[in-house]
Amino acid sequence: MKSVKRTFLNLWVVLALVASVMPATQTAQANNTYQSLPFSQDWSNTGLITVNDDWSGVPGVIGYRGDALTSVNDVDPQTVLGQESPLVVDVNANQTNPNTFATGGVAEFHLANPVVALNGSGTADAPYVVFHISTTGFSSINVSYNLRDLDGSTDNAVQQMALQYRIGETGNFTNVPAGYVADATTGPGLATLVTPVNVTLPAAADNQAQLQPG
């Protein structure tokens, strides 16, 4: 799932991905082991991520800062299909206040309902989280997750979100139009919107040893 840069917004997005039926040299700790189906990931265990830029406790999931993927504010994320080079593994661990936390990229929040979230910024042009899934022997791959606006401050801006995937570990991603959300936020002063996304990936995602939705 990919968001694009803008004035700091705190669209902190719940990425509780369920897949039913980036792997270059890492600059931080990560575990890119491909996970078999059925697969689900939630963030209720706040012990999964305890150190900045360390995803080693979350097998098959890695967040990236998305540097230099776009030079335009509020660009349509469906058109941002490349992979940053070099890859910058990113997570700001153990955060507690999405209204005031002002670092773009990927963040983990210890809230009543814990969450891993995305927010674009001047440096984190298009942050994203990649899931490493093996769909060998499976077809009709369904991906579902919730986008949750956590920003209850007076700040407010439209926040687009896109779902993409690729086969293998290199090359551009493919956009999934059905996963596009034009604005996953409300406000100002509101943090109540939850937008469910539930998409079946194209047949190209079937029976693949290395599928990367993100």
| Residue 42 or 74, more confident | 42
- Find the distance separating the first CA and the last CA of the chain, reported in whole Å: 4
Mean pLDDT of 9-33: 50
Question: Is the separation of the CB atoms in 183 and 158 below 8 Å?
Answer: yes
CB atoms within 10 A of CB 115: 22
What tokens does 141 get? 């791959």
Structure tokens at 60: 């098959």
Tell me the three state secondary structure of residue 177. Answer: helix
pLDDT digits (tens, 9 = 90+) for 148-179: 888 888 877 788 999 999 999 999 999 999 99
Q: What digits encode the pLDDT tens for the residues 43-88?
A: 999 999 999 999 999 999 999 999 988 887 778 999 999 988 899 9
